[in-house]
Amino acid sequence: MEGGVIPAVVQTSYNTIDLRGKRVADAIESLDSGLDAMLRNNIEIAVVIHGHGSGALKQSVREHLKMSVYVSDFRQGDYGEGGDGVTVVKMR
């Protein structure tokens, strides 16, 4: 994305979207809805939990984030944030 540094973030109920267990189409709908709400509430960094699983949900989420109007940048979670089972999103 833009290549800026996204700081470490603490997950809260306000900045986290949990997509675990959802099918891709439902997850993408929940993702957009959650990101829209966060943008309206001036949340700067979001945490998207997709888990590891087969990797299909993670891949779909990250591909969708590349085109999302809500997102300026994103990265995989760091150690202590959930690692590759989460994606940390910097909002526009």
Between strands 71-76 and 86-91, the pairing is antiparallel
Interval 11-57: pLDDT, tens = 999 999 999 999 999 999 999 999 999 999 999 999 999 999 899 99
pTM over 0.75: yes
- 65 found inside a domain: yes
- 11 found inside a domain: no
- 2 found inside a domain: no
Helices (H), 1-92: 24-40, 56-67
- 56 found inside a domain: yes
User: What sign does the dihedral 67-70-72-76 (CA atoms) show?
Assistant: negative
Looking at residue 1, what is its pLDDT?
A: 46
Q: What percent of the chain has pLDDT over 90?
A: 86
Looking at residue 5, what is its pLDDT?
A: 82
- 49 found inside a domain: yes
